[in-house]
Structure 1
Amino acid sequence: MSTFIVEGGHRLDGEITPQGAKNEALQILCATLLTPDKVTVENIPDILDINNLISMLCEMGVKVEKISPNTYSFQASDINLDYITTPEYIKKSASLRGSVMFVGPMVARFGYAVLPKPGGDKIGRRRLDTHFIGINKLGAEFEYNTEQHAYEIRANELKGTYMLLDEASVTGTANIIMAAVLAKGTTTIYNAACEPYIQQLCRMLCRMGAKIEGIGSNLLTIHGVESLHGTTHRILPDMIEIGSFIGMAAMTGSHITLKNVSYNDLGIMPDSFKRLGIELQVKGDDIVIPQHDGYEIDTFMDGSIMTFADAPWPGLSPDLLSVFLVVATQARGSVLIHQKMFESRLFFVDKLIDMGAQIILCDPHRAAVIGSGRLNSLRATNMVSPDIRAGIAMLIAAMSARGTSHIHNIDQIDRGYENIDKRLNAIGANIMRVSN
């Protein structure tokens, strides 16, 4: 387990290019299992979760070639189905939540998949009902294997059907789409997630020969095809990392430029930061955050306290609320953060309170933040990162604090952020990585 030693109070200055989107990459890499042809994927982030998924693909028999630092080709022409029943595969799959999206492609193409209870962030319940019910409606059968502690999913033939999803789950929608593209007949998915990353997945599948209508909406119609072929796909910039950098710039009073952000795919996020009082300048496809000596939280039109809550796209991503919460601690004004989807994601605020932040944790889903209105008003402390998004919020807080902070268990941050210490040090941060 490694540690970041962060000397706070340094202003950043320069340009930084966001990495490829982690959540899109997980879907896209799983989709390479749908064809025996070669699929080339560009702008893959070099992060722990993605590297572990690529390693699992290799062990399943996928031919993986690293073309450049962030570009790989994948060819799933000779999959070893015996491997996915081994204890080694089940252990690795259980530790990486993204591997749940192997199920759709594997059942669609091979009629068989294995799914242990997946791991990932410790942020509360993340149920898989949407995945199970959707793929079951297509004709797959789930059976729990008590010896393997895993589900075995089988299907002689998947058949298109109508389904109304119980929630607009992003990974659930992706899994069902990947199963439906090779099913017989037509599948209609209502209440589908429609995030840019789902749109990207659908567009890639269409280039591979799939027939999908309604891309970008919550009503998808998929006409099954016999087979898919290879393609080349480029992953979008990671909007969560973009939001993290905006928060860092504001809290450290820095002037930075975020390059090539795919601004039109950021949705409500830029306007939400503006309601926190942060100025953003859009220049082409770049975002410039000018130096802030302070920022003031907006109120609603009737003067009531501002509330930021997560919601399915085009609402605010739950992955950004940890960043909004920590940024609000230095603003002038008050805000309520309402994390609807995960009941354990706000528990890290006790560390921010130790640093001097004024936060009331109302319940597992809501926190009221009373901003200090002063940059660098937090004091350094020792912290342990419980998950990716809380980890980056802790790093932002440490960078803006007086003194030197220690953040332990930074493997959690590495799961979602590529060489974050090196990239930030290059523009003025003082972050040291220590291996314990």
Structure 2
Amino acid sequence: MKTFKIDGGHKLKGSIQPQGAKNEALQILCAILLTPEKVVINNIPDIVDVNKLIKLLGKLGVKIIKLAHGSYQFQADNINLKYLESPEFKEDGRGLRGSIMIVGPLLARFGKGYIPKPGGDKIGRRRLDTHFEGFIKLGAKFRYSREDQFYGVEAKKLKGTYMLLEEASVTGTANIVMAAVLAEGKTTIYNAACEPYLQQLCKMLNRMGAKITGVGSNKLVVEGVDKLGGTEHRMLPDMIEIGSWIGLAAMTKSELTITNVSWDDLGLIPNVFRKLGITVERQGDDIHVPAHTDGYQIQSFIDGSILTISDAPWPGFTPDLLSIILVVATQARGSVLIHQKMFESRLFFVDKLIDMGAKIILCDPHRATVIGHDFKSTLKATTMTSPDIRAGVSLLIAALSAKGTSIIHNIEQIDRGYERIDERLRAIGAKIERI
């Protein structure tokens, strides 16, 4: 088990560029299975989850050429479908939540798609019903082996249909869209997710020859086509990493510039940090966070009641940043209620922050009230273990703000979502060592 050793309490300074978006990469990489032609993808983050998926695609028979750092060429013109039913695939697929999104493209192009029950973060139940209910409505037959937890869908030819999704699942919508682009006839997907990363997928598919309308709304209409061609695509910067760096700047009272953030795709993120009293300045396509030497004050609602920050489907606030918001609130002036609606285990990491001296009341699995210290009492350095990607980075931010030496174990979780995070933090003055 790898570990970070952090000497906290130091101010940082400089600029940092966000990596390519992890959640977009997992969708885009699966879409290359829809065509036998060459697809070039740029700004791919060099992180564990994405590299696992690239390796899995290689075992499927995809020809992969690394063109430069973050740039790859893929060609899926000779897919090995036998690998899908091999013991090796059952092991490989379990280690990656994003592997579920290979099912839609494989089903659309080859008439069958299989996947073992995927792994990922231990943050609560993450149902796959939306994915498979969508495939069934498109005409696929579904089977599930409880013994080895193996899912499968098969169809001679998918047929377009109308569907109202039970939940606006991002990965579920992506999977269904990738299946529908090669289906016969028109597919209407209502209550579709509309996150920027899903918009990116739809735009890429349209460049490949798909006919998708309503991109950016919660109603997508897909006119099926016979085949798709190659294209080139560049991924957006990772909005979760951008939010992480905003929080890091505030907690360490540091002046930081986050470059090339694609402001127009950030939605509510800058404004939610502003509600915590953090100054987020737009400078072209960069974000500048000045040093908050006098701290930052949480706003209250107009009627004077305590501010509540909760997650919601896009264009609401992303659940992946609630852990960061919670940590940042521990040193604010004032109080805030954090309401994590989507995952019932995501707030359980707060016990580690309480051990560091944070004033947090865990109301129930979904809600926590944070009473800020206003920097009058700093967090204390401690030893802790990262439970998942986002909580891990939140604890890392807490450790960088706390005076003394902290140890974070199980940093493989952080590496799953953040590229060379220790090197990049050292470049702006952080004292962090991988041991």
- TM-score bracket for the superposition, by shorter chain length: over 0.9
For residues 108 and 3 of structure 1, what CA distance do their matches in structure 2 show?
A: 42
Name the SS for the 2:212 alignment partner. Answer: strand
Deviations 1:365-405 (A, max 9, x none): 00000000017700001110010000000000000001110
Residue pairs, 1:255-294, within 5 angstroms = 255-293=255-293, 294=295
For residues 381 and 142 of structure 2, what CA distance do their matches in structure 1 show?
A: 50
What is the aligned partner in structure 2 of residue 56 from structure 1?
56
What is the aligned partner in structure 1 of residue 221 from structure 2?
221
What is the aligned partner in structure 2 of residue 165 from structure 1?
165
Matched letter for residue 346 of structure 2? R
Deviations 1:284-327 (A, max 9, x none): 00000000020000000111100000000000000000000000
What is the aligned partner in structure 2 of residue 66 from structure 1?
66
What is the aligned partner in structure 1 of residue 394 from structure 2?
393
**Aligned-pair CA distance for 1:149:** 3.0
- State the Cα RMSD in Å: 0.8
Matched letter for residue 367 of structure 2? R
Matched letter for residue 344 of structure 1? S
Matched letter for residue 44 of structure 2? I
Deviations 1:21-67 (A, max 9, x none): 00000000000000000000000000000000000000100000000
Partners of 1:375 and 1:400 within 8 A in 2: no
Partners of 1:376 and 1:401 within 8 A in 2: no
For residues 22 and 10 of structure 2, what CA distance do their matches in structure 1 show?
A: 28
Name the SS for the 2:81 alignment partner. Answer: coil
TM-score w.r.t. length of structure 2: 0.99
Partners of 1:42 and 1:234 within 8 A in 2: yes
TM-score w.r.t. length of structure 1: 0.99
What is the aligned partner in structure 2 of residue 323 from structure 1?
324
What is the aligned partner in structure 1 of residue 385 from structure 2?
384
What is the aligned partner in structure 2 of residue 238 from structure 1?
238
What is the aligned partner in structure 2 of residue 22 from structure 1?
22
Partners of 1:253 and 1:375 within 8 A in 2: no
Partners of 2:143 and 2:153 within 8 A in 1: yes
For residues 388 and 73 of structure 1, what CA distance do their matches in structure 2 show?
A: 28
Of stretches 144-153 and 65-74 in structure 1, the one that deviates more from structure 2 is: 144-153
What is the aligned partner in structure 2 of residue 119 from structure 1?
119
Partners of 1:251 and 1:375 within 8 A in 2: no
Matched letter for residue 342 of structure 1? F
What is the aligned partner in structure 2 of residue 299 from structure 1?
300
- Unaligned regions of 5+ residues in structure 1, if any? none
Name the SS for the 1:308 alignment partner. Answer: strand
**Aligned-pair CA distance for 1:145:** 3.1
Partners of 2:84 and 2:115 within 8 A in 1: no
For residues 226 and 377 of structure 2, what CA distance do their matches in structure 1 show?
A: 59
For residues 415 and 362 of structure 2, what CA distance do their matches in structure 1 show?
A: 27
What is the aligned partner in structure 1 of residue 403 from structure 2?
402
What is the aligned partner in structure 2 of residue 359 from structure 1?
360
What is the aligned partner in structure 2 of residue 348 from structure 1?
349
Name the SS for the 2:241 alignment partner. Answer: helix
Matched letter for residue 247 of structure 1? G
**Aligned-pair CA distance for 1:148:** 4.3
For residues 145 and 133 of structure 1, what CA distance do their matches in structure 2 show?
A: 17
Deviations 1:83-133 (A, max 9, x none): 111111111101100000001000000011111111000000000110010
Partners of 1:330 and 1:373 within 8 A in 2: yes
What is the aligned partner in structure 2 of residue 339 from structure 1?
340
Name the SS for the 2:361 alignment partner. Answer: strand
Partners of 1:112 and 1:155 within 8 A in 2: yes
Residue pairs, 1:197-208, within 5 angstroms = 197-208=197-208
What is the aligned partner in structure 2 of residue 91 from structure 1?
91
Matched letter for residue 328 of structure 1? A
Partners of 1:9 and 1:376 within 8 A in 2: no
Name the SS for the 1:14 alignment partner. Answer: strand
Change (3 A) 1:376 1:27: farther
Deviations 1:264-284 (A, max 9, x none): 000000000000000011010
Name the SS for the 2:220 alignment partner. Answer: strand
Change (3 A) 1:372 1:357: same
For residues 70 and 47 of structure 1, what CA distance do their matches in structure 2 show?
A: 10
What is the aligned partner in structure 1 of residue 315 from structure 2?
314
Name the SS for the 2:264 alignment partner. Answer: helix
Matched letter for residue 285 of structure 2? D
For residues 173 and 119 of structure 2, what CA distance do their matches in structure 1 show?
A: 19
Partners of 1:297 and 1:331 within 8 A in 2: yes
For residues 102 and 377 of structure 2, what CA distance do their matches in structure 1 show?
A: 45
Partners of 2:13 and 2:255 within 8 A in 1: yes
For residues 149 and 284 of structure 1, what CA distance do their matches in structure 2 show?
A: 49
For residues 265 and 151 of structure 2, what CA distance do their matches in structure 1 show?
A: 36
For residues 90 and 73 of structure 1, what CA distance do their matches in structure 2 show?
A: 26
Name the SS for the 1:372 alignment partner. Answer: coil
